[in-house]
Structure 1
Amino acid sequence: MTEILIISKADLELTTNSVCDWLNHYGVPFIRLNVDQISDPACYDVFIHVNTHKLEIFDKINHKKIDLEKIKVVWCRRFIDLVYDQVIRKENEIDENVLKFAKFHAAERNRFLRILYDFYPEWKWFDYYKDSLKIDKIEVLGLAEKYGLTIPETYIANSRESLRKVTDLNKNLITKPIFEGITFADTKGMYGTHTQIVKDGNIKEFTPSLFQENIRKRFELRIFCLNRKFYAMAIFSSKNSQTRTDFRNYDIFNPNRCVPYELPQTIRESLIYLMDDLNLSSGSIDMIKDMDGRYVFLEINPVGQFGMVSLPCNYHLEKEVAEFLIQQRTYA
């Protein structure tokens, strides 16, 4: 009997693939639904009768009907939110019509996930995608501080004049998106946002933007949380000029040293309170240990990649996730 549903994407999901491999290894049947293909008639046939709550999905690639009545546990690994997957450029200018259609298309597919929840409220979600969508950086910073975690001095400004209220105090700042970063592509390659040091000379006009104190770090911490258990990795990124501000500005020719790390009990307890408040059973957490020995909380990503923590630290997190899903069937 199929009891596990995995909601993911088809492309660039090596961690999902590995979790599926472990489920196959244990002989546990599951269904994988790739939401980035749900609107492609070559991949799925979808029929919903709203009046009778009848929902039918036929997987045309694997030539089988998806039996939703037998599902107990859902791992919502990926979803389609209102941020489009790809931006297409035309003569170095963004085609606004393409952006509008991409946003509309993503919103339509995202609404489909809500139909799944509305039609099958008895399913046990890890995690429910609407809880993940509610994650807000500013709100999370406030909650982190409430539960005893240190957070950076944080500001939002929309002009050089307003930002001088901070820079005139000789504070060094970084900037990053208030909401979420974006990755996009054109014919020349892939592009993405990452944290940048603020230099007054390169600031002109900008939308209301997030600024934080530039913390002198001893090392960065990427932490994966699963069911109140924490798997932490220390990233020694500060000695490399390319990764000093943000380790995600990867240096593939000179990779950062990454090692397993044991979090202090007080930090683990604070993070448990935070995860519980956000109604999350899993997520990737970014922190810094600064030169004064403080642990500084930065942010949490409910669907962050964990393969980058699993492999260097031999945590075998894909196996842990698969075993967690198998275990949850008995409680559903």
Structure 2
Amino acid sequence: MDLLDVIRDLVFVQGISGYEDDIRSRVIEYLKKFGEPKVDKLGNVYLTLGDGDEHIAFMAHMDEIGLVVAHIEENGFIRLKRLGGVDVRMLYGQYFEVFTKDGKRIPGVIGLKPPHISTESEMKNAPPIEDLYLDVGASSREEVISMGISILDPVRWMKQFHVLNGRYIVTRGLDDRAGCAILINLIERLKGKKLKKKVTFIFTLQEETGLRGAKAITERDIDELYAIDSVSSGDIPKVDYYLSPVSLGKGPVIRFIDARGANSISLKRKVEKIASRNKINIQEVFTGGSTDAAGTFDLGIPSIALCFPIRYTHTTVEMSSIEDIEALINLLEKIVQG
């Protein structure tokens, strides 16, 4: 399977945090080509290859940030609430989709008060989400309901997908659909090979709202766990690079320490040695936010996050290097090989 095609396919599937049914089904479709995936009671997905005394695992989260319908005004405008780390600045002047219970995708927009009728102070300050509303072209609450929209329906940005200069993927949701695609590609590489260890692939839910899927995984007899996720790069203008000294095109990243603290230092050292031995360029960083590695570390599983750098994290134009993603897959394969 072409890696870029899998990333593109996964990116467009609905699956904001807490509403992962569609993306889980799509992931399972891919995994069935290689084995018999299992789903736990919460909705995390597992696939295991190989056998042996040693058990390692790779994890990526299926969910992405988004919004939900919180209230429908009498005049037909829709109030929203956030799921995950949604930056309000990324909401103005954007197209959105409401995913209804009967399977419809209703388009809408979040506009912004025009400068012609705004005060000077309004022009200087971004309005809070409480002042924003989704406009689906309805003139009454009843009309919105007749369109099939109801309270708590998931809402996400309409997406585009582009490759810039033949090297950089740009879309909404690389965090962490690219991570899911990385695992699927790795499974394809390993399938049919004689593995001397047990290798489990885990696709989690609700990472963006508190690492909730990772904290509840049912497969816990694991010697090493690697969370495959993104990390924000600092290689853009007007950003103090030291805040996140990571660049696109310079290799995958060991995200050893983040806002939740340090993860497994023994795995950090192991990955460094493997990367050096195989001449794979890596970057290392202490950054904000967190990953599923923190959730599984708290379960007593030696864990660490291995990431692909992203510019413009949690925006509609997340950007990643194809070379970095491919290098990360190579690194993971070398980890399996030992």
TM interval, shorter chain, is: under 0.3
TM-score by length of 1: 0.28
TM-score by length of 2: 0.27
